[in-house]
Structure 1
């Protein structure tokens, strides 16, 4: 049996150790990325107010659709002087709209239960 030169043996050991360390680092980095994304979602989940963009994402709608609902409900309220049911839960600060996450969940339940329809910026 031939003996392996010491330099080839050491190079093989170093290469093997490097490969194992590289795999560990990549796995750790992937886990850290997943944990960071989960933490960001938790932080957003705990916020009381969402922007129109975040609201649209939360509802799986476009920002235009969300604004159309707000305008339709406001228009209906302006015309009749009252609104039957729960209105879309927003506040306006300067030119920015913010939506309460808790109230939004309640609004979704009620709007779904009453089968509300919003067509061309108006409630049907």
Structure 2
């Protein structure tokens, strides 16, 4: 039987220990990030009103897309004088828009049911 040189055994041991330490560091990093995300989601889900930024995150959209929906529905209402279905649920306080979380969920259901389309800032 051939003997394995001691340098190969030492190198293998160092490599194995490095691998284990690296895995432990990565798992600690991931678990440290999770509470922040969970805490942020809990805050958003407990709030009655959300900012446009929070609303965009909640809907997995950009702020520009949310504002485009609001403008499209407002334009449609202004032109027609009425609006079929549920309009995007926002209120304006001074110059800032806030969105009702509960009403937003109802709006999503309504918009999904009627397959609304928002293209280039207009309702289709």
TM over 0.5: yes
Task: Give the structure-2-normalised TM-score.
Answer: 0.70
What TM-score, normalized to structure 1?
Answer: 0.70
Cα separation, partners in 2 of 1:121 and 1:32, compared to 1, 3 Å: closer
How many residue pairs match? The answer is 99
Unaligned runs of 5+ in 2: 1-23
Map of 1:42-121 to 2, 5 A cutoff? 42-121=42-121
8 A Cα contact 2:44 2:54, kept in partner: no
Q: Provide the rounded CA distance (Å) in 2 between the counterparts of 1:109 and 1:119.
A: 19
User: Quick check: which has more Rg, 1 or 2?
Assistant: 1
SS in 2 for 1:86: coil
The two structures, once aligned, show a CA RMSD in angstroms of: 2.1
Moved more, 103-112 or 31-40: 31-40
For residues 61 and 85 of structure 1, do their structure 2 counterparts lie closer, same or farther at Cα, with a shift above 3 Å needed? Answer: same
Alignment of 1:34-45 (within 5 A): 34-35=34-35, 37-45=37-45
Gaps of 5+ in 1: 1-22
